[in-house]
Amino acid sequence: MTRKYFGTDGIRGQANMEPITPATVLKLAMAAGRKFRRGDHRHLVVIGKDTRLSGYMLEPALAAGFISMGMDVHMVGPMPTPAVAMLTRSMRADLGVVISASHNAFQDNGIKLFGPDGYKLSDSDELEIESLMESGNHELAAPGRLGRAKRLEDAPGRYIEFVKQSFPRGLRLDGLKIVVDCAHGAAYRVAPTVFHELGAEVIPIGVRPDGLNINKDCGATNTTLMREQVILHNADLGVALDGDADRMIIADEHGAIMDGDQIMALIASSWHEQGRLRGGGIVSTVMSNLGLERFLQSVGLTLIRTAVGDRYVVEKMRSDDYNVGGEQSGHIILSDFGTTGDGLLAALQVLAVVIQKQQRVSEVCRMFTPVPQLLRNVRFSGGEPLENEQVVASIKDGELKLGDTGRIVIRKSGTEPLIRVMAECDDQALVESVVSQIVDTIEKVT
């Protein structure tokens, strides 16, 4: 069955345009409510959001849909995606919902759904919800069985304590100066508090959301400001989150960036030394750098690759019992603690290693030298350019040029009208030539 609404990470699009309209979101809530209404108990849905202006439009539409299905709704306001996943499981809710377009600009928004176990829904669950949206067979609740809605005022405190409990007992952040960039997003209240309460001196930036500035020139997808602030304040490190705080990028004391691959390498090797790492390696996606794979092999560990999307990483981790996984973009999943990517949990695990080794971040966190890798995005307006004969031939030619020394990964974005073209090998000039050739060909046929 072809997917009409759901992409690689929930439903996403431009706010107030299909499918991100109040009418469609109302249908989604009713369909999801029908799917997850089980038994005669009082059903509960936890709804969180980031700081986008359109969240105020979508939140009441979702609440109305669930209430009409006889489900109570607890609204937690701006909270990280992993916080909603945690609360869903902790409160024994039947469903968790996050209103967010993650790293996208303010004009986009999206809906992410979590099951009672705190994990993102499977493809089969999403397809069933789509079918229910189309059929409209919802069996509305009787007037006396309508749900009730309320604000959950203690949600931030619950999540803050949950994150702090993941930090190794006996360790503190005293003496560390940390720049924390919250991207004017969902973690603008909780993230600085976590680091402060663990003892750090915190320089918060990106903590003045106005509904329009989420991810704008800040956060995990634009680290320039965070890096500048690290240098300006002579900080020990910087932590940049994205709009819903499920991803994280670190800068060392010199402002040099450590992406998700470096972070996974650090956590995996540390946990392996402690006997905590399960599965004999980690799970990441086809986008992770070849240097990560070579580093893991050098310490006797393996890299299992999946399709792009933290949901697919989590599925593989669960099926094969791995407890560390993630993406180069900074989604880090640590299943000993959480069910989805969590920027704060990952940052604290990195800081634990820094403190234990009593070294600078630059000495601890650069685990390997990345293989030259280039990613370029090509915007397209429709059609299937990757099926064009000229594009297919260009990709094949690039693969022949790289041979066994490198890789090409080309895919459609699941969240934007983009084709992502990535290549890597030890020869930087060859990588640039191959990517340029493929991009030029795609642009000619679109």
Q: Give the phi and the psi of residue 38 in degrees, each rounded to 5.
A: -130, 120
What is the layout of strands, in order, in the sheet containing 302-306? 302-306, 281-285, 324-326, 332-334
CB atoms within 10 A of CB 426: 12
Give me the residues of the chain with pLDDT under 50, please.
none
By C-alpha distance, which of 196, 222, 234 is closest to 360? Answer: 234
Domains recognised in the chain with CATH numbers: 6-153 (3.40.120.10), 158-257 (3.40.120.10), 258-365 (3.40.120.10), 373-445 (3.30.310.50)
Structural contact between residues 304 and 283, judged by C-beta atoms closer than 8 angstroms: yes
**With the C-alpha atoms ordered 381, 384, 390, 391, is the resulting torsion angle positive or negative?**
positive
What is the C-alpha to C-alpha distance for residues 400 and 397, in angstroms, rounded to an integer? 5
| pLDDT score of 381 | 81
State residue 119's pLDDT score.
Answer: 96
pLDDT of residue 137: 78
> Which residue among 54, 100, 102, 269 is the active-site one?
102
Omega before residue 417 within 30° of 0, cis:
no
Give the sheet arrangement for strand 373-379, strand by strand: 373-379, 418-424, 407-412
Please tell me the distance from the alpha carbon of residue 185 to that of residue 244, in angstroms, as a whole number: 6
Q: pLDDT digits over 255-292, tens only?
A: 999 999 999 999 999 999 999 999 999 999 999 999 99
Q: Give residue 1's pLDDT.
A: 53
Instruction: Check residue 438 and give its pLDDT.
Output: 96
Residues in contact with 403: Cβ distance below 8 Å, sequence separation at least 6, in sequence order:
none
pLDDT in tens, 172-192: 999 999 999 999 999 999 999
So what's the pLDDT on residue 383?
80
131 in catalytic set: no
Can you tell me the distance from the alpha carbon of 92 to that of 327, in angstroms, rounded to the nearest whole number?
29
Q: What is the pTM of this model?
A: 0.92
Per-residue pLDDT, 382: 77
